[in-house]
Structure 1
Amino acid sequence: MEKVIDENKQGETLVLEQKNTNTKKLFIESYGCAMNFSDSEIVASILNEQGYNTTQVLEEADLVLVNTCSIRDKAEQTIRKRLEKYNAVKRDVNPKMKVGVLGCMAERLKEQFLEQEKIVDLVVGPDAYKDLPNLLSEVEDGRDAINVILSKEETYGDISPVRLNSNGVTAFVSITRGCDNMCTFCVVPFTRGRERSREPQSILQEIQDLWDRGFKEVCLLGQNVDSYLWYGGGLKKDFDKASEMQKATSVEFAQLLEMCAIQFPKMRFRFSTSNPQDMHEEVLHVIAKYHNVCNYIHLPVQSGSTRILKEMNRQHTREEYMALVDKIKTIIPDCTISQDLIAGFPTETEEDHKETLSLMEYVQYDFGYMFSYSERPGTLAARKMEDDVPEEVKKRRLQEIVDLQQKISETRTKRFVGQIVEVLIEKESKKSKDEWSGKNSENVVTVFPKENFKVGEFVLVKIKDCTGATLKGEAVGYSELMN
């Protein structure tokens, strides 16, 4: 599983519409990937029905929850510091406050948090959010509460998430949970369980609700969206046991994506995250066929060396990945491709590193998410491999990867200068109150003068200039999605 972590959103506090009849206050922070932020919306929806309104004032909260990530050591250290802060407020300001940990760290460090360190009142794993009312009752009665049982069925398809009041324009819709890919560096299969898909009609109903409320873009979300497979419920690995009728009426990701594009022709669709071994050509043809499916694929590779990919238990080689990229560029010539890369994985040699750099040159990624390897407790790599690449070597290799990506990104961004691109206006530009900011279909941030345009509108923008990661232009009219 790959996790795209938006550093600008780390620690974001969820704020929702207030319900007048609710008397308790919930403070909830999220860290990690988009799936965690999506899960926080589900948690808030459940607790909204239990009498909790959200607050951004930590000191007034009756319940403080942090939705956690275990993908990197830095994320875990950040969350530990936040837990120290919560407990200081609890000790000095608000003794009645209850503190809980949600998500991936909850599953991994349950005993440590509750019994050894005694820094939380409840621990709730990613599949146990519906049990929150019962767990809170336990806490109210003076007992610690824990539920980190991983489910084979839970998809939260019957819960309508309460959305962040961020822009009212874009939203995530979860379509799968869990992961079957046992990449040796990753904790997700152990913290989120086996892969299962959500019923298609519940997905379409959630998108309909978003459309009715004025949202204009949806990102279909999963640990690995390309392996989406609905055949009446159950784990993906059990599909071979399904009946002939279930197999005949099953829905794969390309079909789901096409259903979304057809049913909501004036809405724009993205998806994340893709796994190279599971991306089928049919998905590429759907992207090429429908204007409202964005020309953007996040395609994590992790390393350019086939030997290292094997050590990582990635189910593809360098050559297979390159062949997939060739196919993407043939079917969708203007497609943006982004990457995840890890520098300094155990046993990585200088030659392996050079193969990563040469792969980057070959693919010409538009942007990426790049990290040096950090050993995650509980992973196969931590149990079976020595973290043998010196820290200074990791840092140097990572810097070379980052420098090369910046160089390629600048070239790739410049290709839009002189073109007219379709932009969904999301918000006011950070740098100027006179400009709008949004993304084009290829996922590049674009800014332009406001004029009479409004948030939520699809606008055609003539690109005049760019920085390494941002396009600058002038609006020339509305796109066909506005007709």
Structure 2
Amino acid sequence: MLDLLHTTKTHDETRQGEALDMVPTGASNGRKLYIESYGCQMNFSDSEIVASILIDKGFETTKEYKDADVVFINTCSIRENAEQRVRKRLKEFESAKAKNPGMIVGVLGCMAERLKAKFLEEEKLVDVVVGPDAYRDLPNLIEKVDDGNKAVNVLLSREETYADISPVRLNSNGVSAFISIMRGCDNMCSFCVVPFTRGRERSRDPQSIVQEAKDLFNAGYREVTLLGQNVDSYKHAPKVDESGEIVPTVNFAQLLEMVAQVDPLLRVRFSTSHPKDITDEVLHTMARYENICKYIHLPVQSGNSRILDIMNRTYDREWYMERVDAIRRIIPTCGISTDVITGFCTETEEEHQETLSMMEYVKYDFAYMFAYSERPGTLAAKRFEDDVPEEVKKRRLTEVVDLQRAHGLYRIENFVGKVHRVLIEGLSKRSDQDFCGRNDQNTMLVFPKDDRFKVGEYVNVLGESCTSATLIGRIID
């Protein structure tokens, strides 16, 4: 569920998203909205839903929070560090609110769901607290604040998928977009707060997903990423359509094929897969369609079976390795990335070494790596003592990071001298004389601009050299 554009990540993947200026679709109410997003891609997708709901009510968006009448921060609760960043950012909003007493400040998302009304007591600056399933209620909640009240809605839903809302694409490059295919999570990994902050798993109607992909393609987008906490468990139950025909169950492999068939020029990615659920059917579908990218994010968390068991990951070391073997067999060119947690409760030095040996076995293209951070309310916090000393966690994390850097460089060096089909996503951050875009395996390429091509088009790029995270090349005919 993370945007893997770099070889290594040693901290929370926290990005700041600023809304773009746009004209409201309905009559303007004269008020400006600013949304800032932190955490996973799902949060950024949710912010696009929030923007759509409020633009429909007459709000305009702004890039500057100081100019806004309503400021929302869409939060992440996956690690303590992420929450601390949100609290720090809220304090930065305080001076703007002092100059504009009518400004409304709200907290959305997972942190709002975890802390609920307590947030209003802890953070006096906050006026609105809204969980991930209550965004439709935002216009009513804003009205309550206008009347001088604080407002909270953190009710979780077993049905809400926002399938009928067309997201407003914030910070879009006009080429790539996210499509949320499901919400919530039924996996109860002992270290994770997501089941408590996003509720039970429910899958969106496949036809609405395909229609969104078609709409994006017709609007000029050439890449979509299908999002879910565990996309492989996507399953939409049978239903009766308007003509009275029964529409059969659709699983993830079938949905992936349906989206791939929208147009051969629409590139399809997805995130995140769960090792216990990813099937050979999904892998064969990926292999069958050229426009489905050959890249899988497959979080391992630990290479030791005992640790995986107390993490409640519901697979063991051997199962994970078999799934990797299947990927390599069915899609030989597939890139694989992962998540790793070091220093989980009771982890021994020998068990840590098994994580390192798993990394040696797979040689991941990318990885997100963290030292274990206990999260209140999780099963691990209730059942286990966080007994690995911080200095040991950090030392083990350093070993994991150093090994991944070597593996990431190994993978990217293998791309040198090969031709890659690349979707031009925009200009390089370092030079407006260079284009950038990713190959099938999600590796970023940088190459000189060519007047024959423009952003949103596919080109063949020969990899000529590399850094530890970027492939450098040139367009060839």
Contact 2:182 2:228 in 1 (8 A): yes
One-letter code aligned to 1:54 = T
The residue number in structure 2 matching 1:132 is 138
SS in 1 for 2:32: strand
- Corresponding pairs, count: 463
Tell me what 1:272 maps to.
271
Aligned residue for 2:139, secondary structure, equals: helix
1:96-115 correspondence to structure 2 within 5 Å = 96-115=102-121
Please give the secondary structure, in 2, of the residue aligned with 1:99: strand
- For the residue of structure 1 that corresponds to 2:276, the secondary structure is helix
Per-residue CA deviations over 1:307-341 (Å, capped at 9, x if unaligned) read 00001000100000000000000000010000000
* Superposed displacement of residue 119, structure 1: 2.8
- For residues 5 and 82 of structure 1, the distance between their equivalents in structure 2, rounded to whole angstroms, comes to 24
Superimposed CA distance per residue, residues 439-481 of structure 1 (whole angstroms, 9 cap, x where no aligned partner): 001100001111122100110111111111111111113xxxx
TM-score of the aligned structures, taking structure 2 as reference length: 0.94
Give the aligned residue type for 2:115. Answer: L
> Which aligned pairs between 1:14-53 and structure 2 lie closer than 5 A?
14-19=19-24, 21-22=27-28, 23-53=30-60
Rounded to whole Å, the distance in 1 between the matches of 2:144 and 2:430 is: 48
Q: What's the counterpart of residue 427 of structure 1?
A: 426
Match in the other structure for 2:9? none
Contact 1:3 1:223 in 2 (8 A): no
Measure how far apart 1:56 and its partner are: 1.7
Structure 1 residues 338, 291: closer, same or farther in 2, change over 3 A? same
Q: Secondary structure at the match of 2:117?
A: helix
Single out whichever of 353-362 and 203-212 deviates more from structure 2: 203-212
How far residue 115 of structure 1 moved from its aligned partner, in angstroms, is 3.1
| Secondary structure, counterpart of 2:376 in structure 1 | coil
Q: Corresponding residue for 1:94?
A: 100
- Compared CA separation, residues 8 and 344, structure 1 to 2 (3 A): closer
Query: Which residue of 2 is the match for residue 183 of structure 1?
Result: 189
3-state SS, counterpart of residue 13 of structure 1: coil
Query: For 1:448 and 1:5, how far apart are their aligned partners in 2?
Result: 20
SS in 1 for 2:321: helix
Kept in 2, the 8 Å contact 1:155–1:198? The answer is: yes
Q: Equivalent residues in 2 for 1:439-478 (5 A)? A: 439-452=438-451, 453-477=453-477
CA contact (8 A) 1:5 1:33 kept: no
Cα distance 1:4–1:170, how it changes in 2: closer, same or farther (>3 A)? closer
Residue in structure 1 matched with residue 15 of structure 2 by the alignment: 10
Looking at structure 2, the residues matched to 287 and 364 of structure 1 have their Cα atoms a distance apart, in angstroms, of 21
Q: Percent identity?
A: 61
| 2:128 alignment counterpart | 122
Select between 48-57 and 178-187 the one with higher mean Cα deviation: 48-57
CA–CA distance in 1 between the matches of 2:238 and 2:286? 26
Kept in 2, the 8 Å contact 1:302–1:341? The answer is yes
- 1:3 Cα deviation from its structure 2 partner: 5.4
What residue number does 1:239 align with? none
Kindly state the Cα deviation for residue 8 of structure 1 after the two structures are TM-superposed.
Answer: 7.5
**Residue of structure 2 in register with 1:258 after alignment:** 257
Q: Is the 8 A contact 2:275 2:323 kept in 1?
A: yes
CA contact (8 A) 2:269 2:293 kept: yes
**Displacement, 1:428?**
0.6
Are the structure 2 counterparts of residues 153 and 232 from structure 1 closer, same or farther at C-alpha, using a change threshold of 3 Å? farther
Per-residue deviation, residues 254-306 of structure 1 (Å, max 9, x unmatched):
00001111222210000000000010110000111100000100000100000
Tell me how large the CA RMSD over aligned residues is. 1.5
Q: How does 1:287-326 map to 2 (within 5 A)?
A: 287-326=286-325
State yes or no: 1:82 paired with 2:89.
yes
CA distance in 1, matches of 2:13, 2:187: 28
Measure how far apart 1:17 and its partner are: 2.1
Deviation at 1:114, TM superposition (A): 1.4
- Give per-residue Cα distances to partners, 1:334-389, cap 9 Å, x unaligned: 10000000010010010110000000000110110000000111111111111100
- Could you say which residue in structure 1 is the equivalent of 2:75? 68
What is residue 199 of structure 2 aligned with on the other side?
193
- Shift, 1:133, TM fit: 1.1
For residues 468 and 372 of structure 1, what CA distance do their matches in structure 2 show? 22
- Deviation string 1:415-447 (CA, Å, 9 cap, x unpaired) is 111111100000111222211000001100001
Deviations 1:225-244 (A, max 9, x none): 010000148xxxxxxxxxxx
Instruction: Report the Cα distance in structure 1 between the residues aligned to 2:439 and 2:22, rounded to whole angstroms.
Output: 29
Which letter does structure 1 place at the counterpart of 2:402? D
Partner of 2:242: none
Q: Which amino acid aligns with 1:227?
A: S
Alignment of 1:230-241 (within 5 A): 230-232=236-238
Question: CA separation in 2, counterparts of 1:432 and 1:118?
Answer: 43
Q: Which amino acid aligns with 1:391?
A: E
Corresponding residue for 1:164?
A: 170
Match of 2:331 in 1: 332
Shift of 1:166: 2.8
TM-score norm. by structure 1 comes to 0.93
Q: Which amino acid aligns with 1:14?
A: A
Partner of 1:237: none
Which one scores higher on RCO, CA 8 angstroms, separation ≥ 6? 2
- What is the CA–CA distance in structure 1 between the aligned matches of 2:87 and 2:342, rounded to whole Å? 25
Matches of 1:25 and 1:130 in 2, distance apart? 18
Counterpart secondary structure, 1:346: coil
Shift of 1:5: 7.8
Separation of aligned partners in 2, 1:77 and 1:115:
16
